[in-house]
Amino acid sequence: MQAFAIAASGIADATARFAASAERTARAPLDDLAGESVERIEAEIALKANVAVLKTADEMYGGLLDILA
């Protein structure tokens, strides 16, 4: 069950990072466009990785329940 909590926390963090970067870009579009683009790409990758953790954990728990049933 800890994997679900860790992945959910990672998803929340990645979402917050993406939103903060988008907000900074909206306030000052030309200040650090390249850096903010990299930040959003990193946040997207982190989000996808945490979703993959959730899916894998779900499959593992499902397999365990099948074995125990």
Q: Where are the domains of the chain?
A: 2-68
Per-residue pLDDT for the chain (69 aa), expressed as one digit of tens each? 698 999 999 999 999 999 999 999 999 988 999 999 999 999 999 999 999 999 999 998 888 887 887
- Token reading at 52: 């993959």
Instruction: Round the average pLDDT of the chain to a whole number and report it.
Output: 92
The predicted pLDDT at position 1 comes to 67
Burial of 50 (0-12, 13-18, 19+ CB in 10 A): buried
What is the reported pTM? 0.81
Amino acid making up residue 68: L
